[in-house]
Structure 1
Amino acid sequence: MSGTAGGAATGAATLPAAPPSLPGFDGGGRFALVIIAALLVWRLVLAASVPLVPDEAYYALWAQGLSAGYLDHPPMIAFFIRAGQMLAGDTALGVRLACVLSVVPASVFVWRAAALLLDDPRAGPLAAVLFNATIFGFLGMTLATPDAPLALFSAAMVYGAARLLRAPRPALWLALGVATGLAMLSKYSGAMLAGGFALAVLAVPALRRQLLRAWPWLALAVAVLVCLPNLLWNVAHGFETFTKQGGRITAHVALRPEFLLEFVGSQIGLATPLVFFFAVAGLLPRTADAFRDRGGRRLVLVMLLVPLAYFAVHALRSRVEGNWVGFLYPLIAVAAAAGMLAIEPVPRRWLGGLRRATVPLALGFVLALGVHALVPVPGLGARDPIARMTRGWPEFAAEIEALRVRAGADLVLADNYQLTAMLTRELPGVMVEQLDERARYRFQNLPPLAARTGTALVVSGYRPEPYLEAVLGPLTPLGVVERRFRDVALKPLVRIYTVALPPPAPSN
C-alpha cells in the first residue's frame, strides 16, 4: 500500500502542471485590468478615427441646445456629448469621449456586482472582461448614443442591488434610487430594469422584508425626483416623448414569429456566441452553485428575465433592434461568468475548451470589428453596415453645397433627421433644417417655414415629390446626388430641387 502511494506521489511530481482552467484569471485581477485598459485605448483610437454615424451627428445637435427633454429620448446623451466636447472639442473624439470613458465606472460596477453575487474570487474580473469584450459592451460604449449612459447607470443599478442583498442599508437604497433615475434619464427602457428589480424584491426574502421600512419607498421617490425635469418637460410638450416611445407597442400587429428568431440571433452576435452560450448556462438550475446563495441567483434571474420576456413578446410581432437590450449586458456578463465558473468540475473536455476560448474569441471579434471600422474590407459593397453609416458623407455634402451655391439658396431643407444631421455637420455655416418633423428641433427654436423667405434647396431622399409640393409649393428639379464609397452607391440617393419660400398657405 505504501509503495503504491509513494509511486503515485513520485509520478505526480514528474508530471507537468495542469494548465489553468481560465488562463490569466486564476492569478487575480491584474490580467483583467490589462485587458480592460487595452480595450479602452482601442476604443479611444476608434472614437477619434472613425467618422460619426448619422445618429451620433443628430445627438450632437442636441448637445448644442441642452434641454430637459427631446422628442426621441430623455436628455442624458446630450449632456454626455457636451461634456466630451468641452474636453476634446466638436470632433468625433469629443462627441464620443464621455461615452468611451463611462466604460471605466461601468466595468467597476460589473466587477463588484459579480464579486458580491458569485461564489468565486475570479468572478469579478471575469465578468468585467466579458462585459467589455462583447460586441455591445465594446461598440455600445464607444458610440455616442443613449445606450452608453444607459449601460453605465444600469451597471450601477445591478451593483446597488447586489450590495443591498448583502447589507440593506438606507444609503444604498437612496443610491439605487439615484442610479435608477439617471438610467431613465438616459433611455426609458431603464424602467424595465427597475421593474425587474421591483419584482426581484418580492422574490428575495431578504429584500422583501425591507418593504416594511421606509427606505425602499424613499428610493422610489428619489428616482422620480431625479427624472422630474424630464417629466415636467413632457407635461409641457404634450407627453410627446412618451407618445413616441409608446408607439412601439405592437399588440395590434399580426404575429410574425420570424422576428423572434432574428432577435435571438442578434443577441448571439452582440454577446458573441460563446458569451451567449455561457450566459444561458449561467441561468440554468444546474449552475446554481456558482452563486453565493439563492437570493443572488433569484435577483439576477428576475432582473434579467423580466425585460427579456417583454422583448420576446414584442419580437413575436415586430422587429426588436439588437441595441434595445444593451442595458441588460451588465447582468448578461454576470450570468456568463456564473456559467463559465460553474462548469469547472464537469469532466467534459469540450466544455473546458469552449470556456478557455470564450475571452480570446470575443476579443478577436472586437479587434476585427475595430480594424474593419478603420479600414472597411473591400467587396462588401452596400451590405457593409459600417461603410453605409460612416463613409462618403463629405463628398456627398460637397456636391450638395455646390448646387446650393449655384442656385443662390441660403437654406437647405432635408426630409429626414439623419440626413439633416449629417448635412449640418458637413456644411458648417450653412442653415440646414428638416422640412418635416420639426418638433425634433424644439431646442433650436426654429422659426416656422411660413416665416422663411427667399430660395431654399430641397434635398429629398425619403418623401415623394407630391408630398414635397403639398408642403412647399412648386419645385424646380436640379437633378440627383448619390453618396458613394469605393464606387459603391450608398443610401441615400437624393433628389435636389429649389423652391421659393414662404410655402403657400394651406387651403381650408
Structure 2
Amino acid sequence: MIYRVFIVHGILAVLKIVYTLLNITDLSTEEAQYWVWSKNLDIGYYSKPPLIAYMNFISTSIFGDTELGVRINAIFIGFAIGILVFVFVREIFKDEKLAFFSSVLITAVPAFQVGSYIFLTDSPLAFFWILTIYLFYRAVNEKKPVLWVLTGVSAGLGFLSKFLIVLFLPPALLFLYLFKREIFRERWFYFSVLIASLFTVPVIIWNFQHDFVTFKHVFNLGEAKKEISLSKSAEYIGNYIASQIGLNSVFLFPFFFYAVYRGFKERKNFRIFYLWIFPVFIFLVFLYIARKKNVEANWPAFGYATLYILTAYYIYMKKWFKGFIFAFVLSIWSIFTLFYPFYLDKIGLGKIYPPKVDPLHRLVGWEGLGKKVSEVVKDLKTDKYFVFSESYHIASELWFYMEGNPRTYCVVINRRMNQFDLWPGIEQFEGKGYTGIYVSRWGLPKKIRDSFRKVKAHYRYDIIYRGWKYRTINIYVLEDLIKLKQDRFRSY
C-alpha cells in the first residue's frame, strides 16, 4: 500500500516543481529573507533559529539561486509528511487502508499544500512536529533507547526550525500523566529531553553574543496590549477562528469539528486522546493569545497534523465516504483556485475572486523590480554604489532578484529591528563618493535625503497583478553619501 502513497505525493511534488518552473509567482518576502540568511551562515539569527538557512544553503548549492532552489525544500518536506502520515497511522491503528486514506486526506488541506510549496520556517517545523509525535508514541509504547534518542533529535531539529516546537511538551506530559505514568520513572525519557535541550545551545550562545535580541523579538511578538476593548477582542478572536477554518478548508471543516467533538467524547481511549490533545492544545494556546492581539493564520498551522489523522479515522470508521468525496473535490478545487486564479479571469468570473483578496498578489512583481533596479545600476557606469531600503522585505527581494545577487542594505526609518541590523551597514560607504539606490514603497525620507549630497534621479515601478495596480515602488538615485542619518529602532 505504501507505494500508492509514494505515487500520490510524488505526483503532487512533480506538479509543484513544474508550477515553480513556470515562474507564475516570485519568492515571498520571507522566503527571500531566509535565502539571504543562507548567504550569511551563522548559528543563530535575529528572529528564527538557523535550520532554514542551512537547508537553503544546501538546496541552492545544488539547484542554484533560483525559486526552485529555495522551494524544493518545502516540496520535499510535503512529500515526506505524506509518507510519514501513512507510517504513523499504520503504526497506531494497524490498518494500511486507513493509513493510505489519511495520507490522501491531507492533500485537500490548503495549509498542507501552501506549506509544501512556500518555504518558510513553518515547513520544517510541521515535519519535525509530526515526526516527534510519531517517535514519542513509539518510544512510550516500545521503550527502546534508540527511539528515545531519535525523539530527542527530532524535537531538537524542530527547535532549530522554529521555537514553537516547545509547545509539544505540555500535551505530551499530560498524555503521560493520564495514561503512561510509568514513563516518568524511565531514565531514557529524561535522556531524550536532554538530547533535545542540547540543540538549544547554539541559539543561546548566539543570543548571548547579540544581546539576546531573539528573546526580545519573540517577547515583543507575543506581548499583548494591556488594555483592549471587548469589541476589539471579539474581532481578534473572530478573525483567528475564521482564518483557521479557511486555512484548513471550509469544506472539510464539518469533519474536523466532528473529530474534535468525538475525540473529546472518547478521550479515555489513549490512542484517540493522543491524536486529539496536540491540535486542541495548539488551537487553544493561540485562541488565548488572540484575546488581545492579532494572530497570524499560519502560526498554529504546524500543529494540526494529528487532527487530520483523527478526522480520517472517524470518516473511515463511519464510512462517510460519499459526503467526504464531495467536500474533498470542492476543497481541491479551492486549492487549485488559490494557486491558479487566472482561469477565473479567462472565463469572465474574476470578480468573484478579485485580485485584492487573492494572496498571490503578494508573490508577484519582485523579479521585475529586480530587473528594473539592475537597469538603473547599469546606467550609473560605476562600481561605487549600493542598494538599500528601509524594508527588509524589499532589501531581501532585491538581493535575490537583482543581476549578480549584490548585497543589499536596510536602514532604520520608522521600523523595528531586523537581521540586516546585525550585519555591516552602509556606514562603511560614508565619505567615499558612493552612490546609493534607495528603493521604497513610500517617498524619500528627509533623513535619507540629507545623508546624500544630491538626488540624481527618481523612477517608479508599478506592480500589476491580474490587471490591478497592486503597488508602486519608488527608486531614488542618490549621489555621494556624506553621513548616514537614520532613526532608532521602534521596537524589537
When the two structures are superposed, what TM-score results if normalisation uses the length of structure 1? 0.83
Contact 2:388 2:408 in 1 (8 A): yes
Tell me, in whole angstroms, the C-alpha distance in 2 between the residues paired with 1:357 and 1:31. 22
1:90 corresponding residue in structure 2: 65
Contact 1:424 1:431 in 2 (8 A): yes
1:216 corresponding residue in structure 2: 189
Contact 1:174 1:222 in 2 (8 A): yes
Contact 1:393 1:483 in 2 (8 A): no
Contact 1:134 1:362 in 2 (8 A): yes
Gaps of 5+ in 1: 1-27, 345-350
Tell me, in whole angstroms, the C-alpha distance in 2 between the residues paired with 1:45 and 1:304. 32
Indicate the SS of the match to 1:458.
strand
Tell me, in whole angstroms, the C-alpha distance in 2 between the residues paired with 1:149 and 1:375. 33
Tell me, in whole angstroms, the C-alpha distance in 2 between the residues paired with 1:307 and 1:402. 48
**Distance apart, 1:420 and its partner CA:** 0.5
2:470 corresponding residue in structure 1: 490
Moved more, 366-375 or 448-457: 366-375
2:490 corresponding residue in structure 1: none
1:4 corresponding residue in structure 2: none
Asked if residue 434 in structure 1 is aligned to residue 407 in structure 2, the reply is no
Asked if residue 276 in structure 1 is aligned to residue 253 in structure 2, the reply is yes
State the superposition RMSD in angstroms. 3.1
Within 5 Å, give how 1:89-108 maps onto structure 2.
89-108=64-83
Structure 2 CA distance for partners of 1:181 and 1:463, relative to 1, 3 Å:
farther
**Distance apart, 1:259 and its partner CA:** 1.9
Contact 1:161 1:176 in 2 (8 A): yes
Tell me, in whole angstroms, the C-alpha distance in 1 between the residues paired with 2:436 and 2:203. 35
- Name the aligned partner's letter for residue 433 of structure 1: Y
Moved more, 478-487 or 415-424: 478-487
Gaps of 5+ in 2: 488-492
Tell me, in whole angstroms, the C-alpha distance in 2 between the residues paired with 1:462 and 1:354. 50
Contact 1:460 1:495 in 2 (8 A): yes
1:231 corresponding residue in structure 2: 204
**Distance apart, 1:341 and its partner CA:** 2.6
Contact 2:453 2:481 in 1 (8 A): no
Larger Rg: 1
1:13 corresponding residue in structure 2: none
Contact 2:108 2:335 in 1 (8 A): yes
2:236 corresponding residue in structure 1: 259
Tell me, in whole angstroms, the C-alpha distance in 2 between the residues paired with 1:505 and 1:94. 37
**Distance apart, 1:487 and its partner CA:** 4.8
2:172 corresponding residue in structure 1: 197
From 319, 322, 341, the equivalent of 1:353 is: 322
Moved more, 172-181 or 486-495: 486-495
**Distance apart, 1:331 and its partner CA:** 1.6
**Distance apart, 1:166 and its partner CA:** 3.0
From 392, 401, 406, the equivalent of 1:417 is: 392
Indicate the SS of the match to 1:383.
coil
**Distance apart, 1:210 and its partner CA:** 0.6
Structure 2 CA distance for partners of 1:296 and 1:360, relative to 1, 3 Å:
same
* Number of positions where the alignment pairs a residue of Structure 1 with one of Structure 2: 469
**Distance apart, 1:419 and its partner CA:** 0.5
Q: Percent identity?
A: 19
Q: Deviations over 1:346-387 (max 9, x none)?
A: xxxxx5532232433333333333333899876666515444
Tell me, in whole angstroms, the C-alpha distance in 2 between the residues paired with 1:422 and 1:333. 35
From 188, 209, 218, the equivalent of 1:245 is: 218
When the two structures are superposed, what TM-score results if normalisation uses the length of structure 2? 0.85
Q: Deviations over 1:254-309 (max 9, x none)?
A: 152212222222222221124332222122247866x9x71122222322222211
Contact 1:73 1:241 in 2 (8 A): yes
